[in-house]
Amino acid sequence: MSQIKIAIAGSSGRMGRVLLECVALADDLQLHAALEHTGSEFIGRNAGELFAAKSSITISDDLENALCGADVLIDFTRPEGTLHHLEICRRLGVAMVIGTTGFNAQQKALLGAGAQDIGIVFAPNMSVGVNLVFKLLETASRVLSHGYDIEIIEAHHRHKIDAPSGTALGLGEVVARTLGRDLEKCAVYGREGITGERDPSTIGFATVRGGDIVGDHTVLYAGIGERIEITHKASSRATFALGALRAARFLKANSAGMYDMQDVLDLKA
């Protein structure tokens, strides 16, 4: 069985380094390219330096040449960079696993257009555990649809640039969809001063940023006399990397289209 050729965008970043290491440890995967933005101090250096291993791959900013022959690009960068990568992947027929967060509606539409030509797995969180939580929330939200106030609390490291996290918004979307609500209309992202009583139709979000927290997410259903909490805590970025590699394997076996981790894990039945 031939190995799947993997390219990694943002290879010198926190997620990029973990992805490099996880690809190196997988027998069915081969590192095809390690990419960085133009001007990065890592351009021209050996990719193995980023995860203390030997590698034949040199870090490059020449996307066109580096992606030629790749099967899948894994991208945990920023929306503008990801959309630039998408243009080249569409042209070359390279599938994409996208873990980038912070896209606006217009940018998401561009991803959808790209999926007409290539396979894309786009998910706010690649963790297998988090995506199981998405499924559990459907059941919990149906059972607790009346008499329970719903709040979503998330915590991440001090370097994270967007809030709430893409995962928190994804959790909110699952809850809202299950309850027949529009998250854009019912979400409350901040409370300060005299806010009045809580509107029971709202879904609240609270954000914590500090230290080196990898990612904690809790969905709280607060009723009268009891609270139900569904929580996921990530202690290592390896959980996201391993999920992304699972998504890459899925794309190798599937045609063009837009997929998410629920597809990858066969949780939509």
Q: State the catalytic residues.
A: 156, 160
Say which residue the tokens 């995506």 belong to: 131
- The Cα 107–Cα 229 span in angstroms is 33
Question: Which residues 6+ apart lie within 8 Å of 167 measured at CB?
Answer: 101, 124, 125, 130, 154, 215, 217
Write the DSSP assignment of 25-52 as a string of letters. H-TTEEEEEEB--TT-TTTTSBGGGGTT
Question: What is the DSSP pairing of strand 215-222 with strand 227-234?
Answer: antiparallel
Instruction: Count other Cβ atoms within 10 Å, centred on residue 258.
Output: 17
Peptide bond into 200 cis (omega under 30): no
| Paired residues of 222 in beta bridges | 149, 227
- The Cα 111–Cα 87 span in angstroms is 10
